[in-house]
Structure 1
Amino acid sequence: MTDAPDTEVGTQAEDVKARKEREKNELYALDISGVEWHSAPGTEEHEERVEIAYLPGGAVAMRSSLDPGTVLRYTEAEWRAFVLGARDGEFDLEPAPHNGGLAVDSAE
C-alpha cells in the first residue's frame, strides 16, 4: 500500500493555496486609483454607504464612503460566492427584541 493518493491530494491543495495567494497578491498590486466607484441608488453623498468598483478579470473592490482609503479586494470567485450567499439570505440580519422597533412583540 502506498501513500501516493494522499501525497497527490496534499500537492493539489498546496497548488490551489499557492494559486489563490498569487491571485490575491496580483489583485492588491493592481493600481485602482482611476476606477469608478458605484453605490446603491438613492444614497446621498453625505450618507455612509458601501461603494464597489469593478476590476479586471471580474474582480471587485469594496470600501466604505466614510473610509475611502481602506479598500478590500475580491477575486471573481470570492465575489461570486458572496453575491450568491447574499441572494440566498446567508447575511440577512435577524431582528432582535428592543432594538428600535424592528422586532414585533406578539404579546401585545
Structure 2
Amino acid sequence: MEVETKGFRVDLNRAQWFKSTRSGPNCDNCVEVAFVDEAIAVRDSKNPAGPALIFTAAEWDAFVGGAKDGEFDL
C-alpha cells in the first residue's frame, strides 16, 4: 500500500514494523512503528492491515522528545 501525504509518497509494502521491547506477549494495546523512506509510520499492532499514521522526521522527533520529557504523563 502506498500513501501520499505531507508532500511525499510512502510505500508501506516495504515497511519493516517494530513493536516496543517493553510490550509483552499478552499486551493488547500496542502500536508498531516503521521507518520508511522520509517518514515514520505508526499502526495498531492488532490491526496490521488497517490504517497507519504517517509522521515526518521532525514530527516524530518532537513526539519522542515530549515523551522523554514527561509531557504526556498523567
TM-score by length of 1: 0.55
Whole-angstrom CA distance in 2 between matches of 1:75 and 1:52:
13
Structure 2: where are the runs of 5+ without partners? none
Tell me what 1:84 maps to: 65
Could you say what the CA RMSD is over the residues aligned between the two structures, in angstroms? 2.0
**Who is 2:37 aligned against?**
56
The question of whether the paired residues in 1 share the 8 Å contact of 2:11 and 2:36 is answered with no
- Equivalent of 2:27, from 37, 42, 47? 47
% same residue = 42
Q: Counting strand residues as a fraction of each chain, which structure ranks higher?
A: 2
By percentage of residues, which structure has more helix?
1
4+ residue runs of structure 1 moved beyond 4 angstroms?
none
Specify which structure has the bigger relative contact order, considering alpha-carbon pairs within 8 angstroms and separated by 6 or more residues. Answer: 2
Q: Distance in 2 between matches of 1:43 and 1:83?
A: 21
Q: Deviations over 1:22-50 (max 9, x none)?
A: x7131xx3211121100011532x63211
Give the TM-score of the pair, scaled to structure 2: 0.76
The answer on 1:36 being equivalent to 2:10 is: no
Partners of 1:60 and 1:53 in 2: CA distance: 6
